[in-house]
């Protein structure tokens, strides 16, 4: 029986120390893999997908907490289904869940529903915050790399025949930015 331990954080500035310590305490000789990727989907989580490809009959995938593995019910269900097909199990240390038992499988499904609910609430709060900021007239997103005056200059120079590549080099922006300025000529103030 092989034990595969998996630790994940969402961003590069976070660390997996707490997870790694708990996983090593429970399974000191297990293969430990770490990943820094968002948990909103398993699609781009290459380390997890490699583990899921490698895991076989009698093996076990161990994570510290459920949300380190999946944040939506569809991904969680697919992972559990894939593990079941391969004859492998899942253990979540923090919640003391082990899918080798019927109780563990049932409890895991309930936790998955709550994890997805929490993610949806977070998205709703974020969208409400964005809407409130827009209502207050706050600027959202990245600031423009060009002033209105520079945009006017680009528009004028382009109309006199200067090409976007030359303009992008002159103003230190990518060609796409120049093309957007040219495309939005009608919306620029005169």
Q: How do the domains of the chain map onto residue ranges?
A: 3-120, 148-187
* Alpha carbons 121 and 70: distance in angstroms, whole number: 16
Tens digit of each residue's pLDDT, the chain (190 residues): 899 999 999 888 898 999 999 999 999 999 899 999 887 778 889 999 999 999 999 999 999 998 898 877 778 888 888 998 999 999 999 988 898 888 887 887 787 777 778 888 888 999 998 888 888 888 777 777 888 898 998 889 988 889 889 988 988 888 888 888 888 765 545 5
Q: Is 43 helix (H, G, I), strand (E, B) or coil?
A: coil
Annotated catalytic residue, options 10, 40, 144, 168: 10
CB atoms within 10 A of CB 116: 17
How many CA atoms within 13 Å lie on the side-chain side of 14? 15
Question: Does residue 10 carry a catalytic annotation?
Answer: yes
Give kind and range of the element (H or E) at residue 4.
strand 3-9
Superfamily of domain 3-120: Resolvase, N-terminal catalytic domain (3.40.50.1390)
**Model pLDDT, residue 51:** 93
């Amino acid at each position: 029986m092989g034990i595969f331990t998996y630790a994940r954080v969402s961003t590069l500035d976070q660390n997996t120390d707490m997870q790694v310590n708990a996983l090593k305490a429970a399974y000191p000789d297990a293969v430990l893999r770490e990943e820094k990727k968002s948990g909103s989907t398993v699609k781009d989580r290459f380390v997890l997908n490699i583990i899921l490809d490698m895991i076989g009959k009698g093996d076990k995938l161990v994570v510290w907490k459920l949300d380190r593995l999946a944040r939506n019910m569809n991904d969680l269900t697919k992972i559990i289904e894939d593990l079941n097909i391969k004859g492998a199990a899942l253990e979540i240390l923090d919640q003391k869940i082990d899918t080798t038992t019927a109780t563990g499988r049932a409890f895991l499904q309930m936790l998955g529903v709550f994890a997805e609910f929490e993610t949806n609430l977070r998205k709703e709060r974020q969208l409400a915050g964005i809407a409130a900021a827009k209502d207050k007239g706050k600027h959202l997103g990245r600031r423009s790399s060009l002033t209105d005056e520079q945009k006017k200059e680009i528009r004028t120079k382009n109309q006199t025949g200067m090409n976007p590549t030359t303009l992008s080099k002159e103003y230190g922006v990518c060609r796409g930015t120049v093309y957007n300025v040219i495309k939005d000529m009608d919306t620029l103030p005169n």
